[in-house]
Amino acid sequence: MSSRDVIKETEYHARFSICGSRDSSRILTGDVPFEIIKALSNVYPILLILDSWLDCILWTTGDTALNLINLLLVCISLKFAASDTTGSIYEIRNLYIESAIFFVLKLLSFQFLLISSIYYVNSVQVDLNRFESPTVDEIVSTADSVVNKLRLIHSQVTNLIKIENFKELILFCIVLSPLQWILLQFVQLDTYLIFVVAACSLYHSNWIQVTMRVIWKCIYVRMACYKHLKRYISPKLKNITTRQIWKSKMTGRDDLHSVTLRIKNTANINDELIKTLLLNRIGTGESEEYLENVSEKELLQVECNVIEFEFIENQRKWGPNGWMPKLLPYEGTNFTFSSSENKTLYRYNETPIIFQEYIPPNYYWLEDDWTKKLWKYYDTKWSFIGLNDSPECFTRSREWNRRAYSIRDN
């Protein structure tokens, strides 16, 4: 079991996206069949328009002021569409001058937004007809950009509302409907609609993203989110003690390996000899080459039980302090124990160095020290990056392995 799975058993991370860190998959260029080229060429204007609108939603355009103007026009237009305007034109003389001004402003905003959208769609079509036809690379690049942006929005929506089956969907609606009804008793429908649209539109703006990043750095905010969303993630790992580890290993069928050694009865049998023979037998299986000219009467069989222990060390990078064993509270402990019998991970509150001091009297360590594998580096969400440290690496883990043996009584 990989160390990445260790942390993902108990962690919850916010999925904020900031401008400049979009998912930019490779462009799918190459040999494209003519039928696909023709189909893509026909939908190319739609792809351009959709890509432009997604840029506005994700705030990936260079003109943030234009995004704000568009958002303001959308909110005012929604105010106009959601309000009751029946008979407004004929009764405008009876309205206060202030109400009349607001009505005209809402109407003009709606018309301006509608006309500007129609103008943009028409200008795209005119430009495509006037200039050269797009190349295959341009068409595929635009389609790839649209797919990446839609994938980003989809992943964020599904991460916000995690509904895995129909039962959870019904429960979600039952819980949300009364809250919506209570909220609408105090807030008007148009105001509520404008607030939802504005909140969704501003989510990807740099100001909101930076603010959420700063808030998310507070450990109390993370703990509150973890406790609130506990039912959406895997159950917490159970704790295990040193005594429990030894008991599970010595009684587990999959963990206990029997090895038979054949030694000359005239040899000086000691711990070093048995360790050397066990290492050769387990590693290469060549422990009996020197017994070719020895009769069976001169051989002594020694039955040994060998068990292997595996711990996983996890660390996090803490600014100028570098790599430290301190993790976030919901990420578990510095070391976790991996049970090969039931494929389960456990929280271990000690270190392997302390664990090796509590070996039972009839057991001996086969290796002189723990075997430490290479570090695996991950980002702050424990997504694997590589085997080398880099600026985008914030977490890492590695395995500790060691074996112990005991001699069975004949």
Sketch the domain layout of the chain as residue ranges: 20-203, 238-407
**Nearest to 68, CA basis, from 190, 200, 202:** 202
Q: Three-class SS of residue 217?
A: coil
∠ CA 189-193-195, rounded to 5°: 120
Longest CA span, the chain: 121
What sections of 161-309 are H helices per DSSP?
166-186, 189-202, 206-216, 219-228, 242-251, 271-283
Amino acid at 26: R
Tens-digit pLDDT string for the chain (410 aa): 554 444 444 443 344 443 333 343 344 445 567 777 777 778 888 888 898 888 888 888 877 888 888 888 888 877 776 655 444 444 445 555 656 677 777 778 888 888 888 888 888 888 888 887 788 788 888 888 899 999 888 877 776 666 555 666 677 677 777 887 888 788 877 788 888 888 888 888 888 888 888 888 787 887 777 766 554 444 567 888 888 888 888 877 656 777 777 666 655 666 777 777 787 777 654 444 444 445 556 666 777 888 889 999 999 998 888 899 988 877 778 898 887 766 778 889 899 999 999 888 888 898 889 999 999 999 887 888 999 998 889 899 999 999 998 887 65
Distance CA 333, CA 316 (A): 11
Distance CA 248, CA 357 (A): 18
319 sits in the region (left: phi over 0; alpha: psi -120 to 50; else beta) called: left
Q: How much is the pLDDT for 22?
A: 39
Q: How much is the pLDDT for 213?
A: 84
Evaluate whether 403 touches 306 at the Cβ level (below 8 Å): yes
Q: How much is the pLDDT for 202?
A: 86
